Amino acid sequence: MRRQRSPRPLIFAVEAGRRRRPPWRRWAFVVLAALLASGAAAVVATAGRDRAKPTTTTVARRTPPPRARQPKPAPRRTSAIDHVLAYTPFVARGTPRHRLIALTFDDGPSPYTSKIVDVLVRMHAPATFFIVGQQLTDFSSGLRDELRHGFEIGDHTENHAWLIRLGAGGQYTQIHTAAARLARAGAPFPRLFRPPYGAFDARTYAILRRLKMLMVLWSIDPGDWRRPGVRAIVQEVLSAARPGGIVELHDGGGDRSQTLAALPALIDGLRRRHYQLVTVAQLLAADPPPRHQPVPTLGAA
């Protein structure tokens, strides 16, 4: 009778079965276990870093409030000038639709220019300055003050010449030389021109058309260049003030202490009468001159 073998313990059978599995399976299990372990460690580390971050980096970005509706921008300065040049070569006043008045200053810069600029800046009063080119030799700081504060700059010839006493070439030299000086000093090439003494002729018109300049005259002249007194300057401007007016004052060409002293009362008086002060270009944009304006008589500037 054949002797039967006793069965192997179960544990040995399992170990034997494991030994019979291909070797690559054991390494696959090892690699998979390592990947799972490293992934879990990365998740834990990331969570730890997130908890360590300052709270300011985890705050959600707020949605900005809706922007307030902005008013439409005013027409550009050059566009307003070009529009007026299309139908007239000069302006003496604007159409009186709004209570606007333009303050202008001639013959500077001078020792008084920076002080006048200070008053205008302090009182938030726009203005236009018509520059005599030769004055920039000694008083260019006045022009720099005007440009720094955004005042409007125009041409008033090279040395305040009587244009009607000059030929076409002489007039061109007077106008263009001053304009070139202004451009070299940092100002935009001027588009506005004021003839000294208000004197001009057909040759002046032709030169300004060539240079794309608009001639700017005036409707209110208090005669401050004669030095009639501070009170007289103020009263003359206020009594002659009309909507669309252009006021001719002086910051150069002599002693302008009375003009300087009159300026605060003059500005306050116009505002009490509900006038808004503007530059010439702003006046052209809001209240351009009528198409059939009369040519003014010879004046003094």
Annotated catalytic sites, by residue? 106, 250
**Rounded to an integer, what is the distance from CA 118 to the centroid of its chain?**
19
Cα dihedral 260, 262, 264, 268 in deg (nearest 10): -150
Q: What does the alpha-carbon distance between residue 19 and residue 37 come to, in Å, rounded to a whole number?
A: 26
Judge contact between 143 and 182, C-beta under 8 A.
yes
Closest C-alpha among 147, 150, 103 to residue 128? 103
Among residues 247, 236, 141, 242, the alpha carbon closest in space to that of 185 is found at 141
Element at 44 (helix H, strand E):
helix 23-52
Q: Using CB atoms within 10 A of its CB, is residue 259 exposed (0-12), middle (13-18) or buried (19+)? A: buried
